[in-house]
Amino acid sequence: MKRETMKYVTVAIAALLLMAGPALAQENSIDSMQVTQSSGGTIVKLMMKKALDNPPAAFSVATPPRIAFDFPSTGNGLGRTTQAINEGDLRSANVVQVGDRTRLVLNLSRMTTYDSRIEDKSVYITLASLPPTVVGQPAVSHFAETRTTTAHQIRSVNFRRGANGEGRVVVDLSDPSTGIDIRQQGSSLIVDFLKTSVPEGLRKRLDVTDFGTPVTSVNTITQGDTVRMIVTPTGLWEHNAYQSDNQFVIEVKRVVEDPNKLVQGTRGGYKGEKLSLNFQNIDVRSVLQVIADFTNFNIITSDSVSGNLTLRLKDVPWDQALDIILQAKGLDMRKNGNVIWIAPRDELTAKEKLDFEAKAQIGDLEPLRTESFQLNYQRADAVQALITNEKQKMLSKRGSAVVDQRTNKLFVQDTGGRLDDLRRLIQEIDVPVRQVMIEARIVEAEDTFSKNLGARLGLTGNPYRELQGTVSREQTIGGSDTTTKVTFYDKALVSGSLAGTGFFTGQIETKPDFFRDALNVNLRAGGIAGRNPGQIALSLFNKSRFAALNLEISALEADGKGKIVSSPRVVTADGVEALIEQGVEIPYQQATSSGATSISFRKANLSLKVKPNITPDGRVVMILDVNKDSPNVRISTGSGIAIDTKHVKTEVLIENGGTVVVGGIYTQDVSDVTTRIPFLGDLPYLGFLFRNRERRDNRTELLVFITPRIISESLSLR
């Protein structure tokens, strides 16, 4: 609770701490007041008309610091109500009489301890003079203590809005050892950075009203070697502060007022402003009146509340003090707005029971009314099923509901109270369904590299070199001689195949092919993706063309990059599953139990199945099922075409308009195969003629991106 100083003066002047009992005539009075300063503190001497039996009842308040003393059956004989003093910690005094009672209020510059005693007709009040470190001061939260004497610096000041509407002041510090003090002063939050400097560009007031948080402004100023930050919130609020390394964060959160809570806030425990009470054998009704004056609540006390109590409480939250008093006297309370009703527990319980029974009887006797409800977005039969459900029936035992399907109206007959509740329910549920557009982007990237290198080598004698000569023989028939020309082949045995060798040895009649059967090494480079390798060949003959060396080198290298992007999009309502798909259906034969065959179909589709749910803070929870199938014609099976499947099924939480990678598959196929002739393939320089090498490095990656967008009424899709 936040109150101004004038509020406390008003409480003092009102003189609301009145001792219980019948009104008596003034039997005593305060005739004079003297204030002196001594080594032990400030002494206030009150001269009374008659001597008091007991010291006056007193209580203290820390903000603003003040001490109040109550004198029953006593008048004000000073002739004035206010007196300026300015002695030590005592600034002034107020003496106010109401009826036959008088209150003395000592206004202090700071909170201090006090003591009172009676000597004859004099009352002595001693205000102890203690060091500032001992005297109670307004609460200051020392967030961090300075551990070094070196100067620190604020590097940046930023303001952000949290997911729940809270305001966050983010301060970037030069080092985590910066001393920080936090305190609440009036309606503002004061943060002091000790022995700290701030650049000139950050010494300014930030207007953050447009962020829609409880914070309206953040003002950064310097005071000597201290940087002061003034955070100004509005309304009912509470704050948290935390530090992570060099980052210091102040979070101001709006508090929703709960009419049933004494002190507003989300944190547990007692949160009321602190006060001190010192009473001896005082009537409990008078103590409750003290708390009513302090809190500005309207307290109604039952006539059955009675008795006296003695208590001494120092710097205790007022809600805790009230709880202690209620527990001590067996009392309980009920709060409605700023009105608190206090009575014995049994009395409150009995009254509430009677109220409930009376309401139940009224419900049985109250006349029924009929009201029609026009539903715009909900189906009338769905609402009827909701309100008439036996497990959670919202109508009374005499209530009923019927539906007109044509006009989508709901007719309800029930008591007036139930109809009012039903009207509020329909207002909350009969609202337009929010829609979400979900865009999926499936990216397939491929990077391939293949390289083949091989050679073919042959060494053989030249089978086409002819040796010619003449053979003479006598011709006996006809009496003349003839000369015959004879042709024969050089029979070299070095060849690249058995066919060539067999021909030269006379075992095979077929003449060998020079370029095919003359190969001693055949390690040709293989094709890639249906492409034949490039070739270069040459033949070397000796001078007599008797021997030939045949050499062929083949090589092929392939380097490719590819990308396939699929982007299905679908719009659906909040909480409604949607499906979009595109692809082909591949037929295949399937045998039946009778032995016959039938044609079946299998889908190879790109599909997106999603069910979104919009959270209250504007984010989207999605149940996703993304599938991408494609026929693989490179793989042949006896039953049909193979299908490559890529499937992601998950549940994610995404910001509105944000993008998240829900799945990814990365594959790499690396191989290096060398085929060689033993020993010859390992020869230096010439070894490549006797080996074949195939290298492959293929990389593929699949990524699935999901982006949800909540569609507002002003958004149009094009």
User: How is 28-84 classified by DSSP, letter by letter?
Assistant: EEEEEEEEEEETTEEEEEEEESS--SSPPEEEEETTTTEEEEEETTEEE-SS-SEEE
Exposure letters 520-553 (e unless 16+ CB within 10 A, then b): bbebbbeebeeeebeeeeeeeeeeeeebbebbbb
Give Cα 395 distance to the centre of its chain.
Answer: 40
Q: Is the pLDDT of residue 549 over 80?
A: no
Name the region of 545 (left: φ>0; alpha: ψ -120 to 50; beta: rest).
Answer: left
Indicate the range of 201-205, 479-483, 679-683 predicted with least confidence: 479-483
* Banded pLDDT at 215 (limits 50, 70, 90): very high
**Looking at residue 581, what is its pLDDT?**
82
Q: 369 to each of 203, 401, 410, 415, 418, how far by Cα in Å?
A: 66, 12, 14, 6, 10
* Banded pLDDT at 219 (limits 50, 70, 90): very high
**Looking at residue 466, what is its pLDDT?**
46
Q: Is the pLDDT of residue 16 over 50?
A: no
Can you tell me the distance from the alpha carbon of 153 to that of 197, in angstroms, rounded to the nearest whole number? 5
For the segment 626-648, the average pLDDT, to the nearest whole number, is 75
Q: Is the pLDDT of residue 590 over 90?
A: no
**Looking at residue 467, what is its pLDDT?**
44
Q: Give the amino acid at 325.
A: I
Q: Is the pLDDT of residue 171 over 50?
A: yes
For the segment 85-89, the average pLDDT, to the nearest whole number, is 83
Q: pLDDT digit string (tens) for 110-150?
A: 888 888 888 888 999 888 755 443 333 444 445 555 444 44
* Banded pLDDT at 228 (limits 50, 70, 90): very high
Q: Which residues pair with 227 in a beta bridge?
A: 193, 222
Report the percentage of the chain scoring pLDDT > 70.
78
Can you tell me the distance from the alpha carbon of 564 to that of 445, in angstroms, rounded to the nearest whole number? 7
Q: Is the pLDDT of residue 179 over 80?
A: yes
Q: Which residues pair with 218 in a beta bridge?
A: 206, 231
**Looking at residue 475, what is its pLDDT?**
41
pTM greater than 0.75: no
Q: Is the pLDDT of residue 716 over 60?
A: no
Give Cα 615 distance to the centre of its chain.
Answer: 12
Averaged pLDDT of the chain: 77
Q: Is the pLDDT of residue 492 over 70?
A: no
* Banded pLDDT at 415 (limits 50, 70, 90): confident
Q: Among residues 28, 123, 25, which one has the least CA distance to residue 77?
A: 28
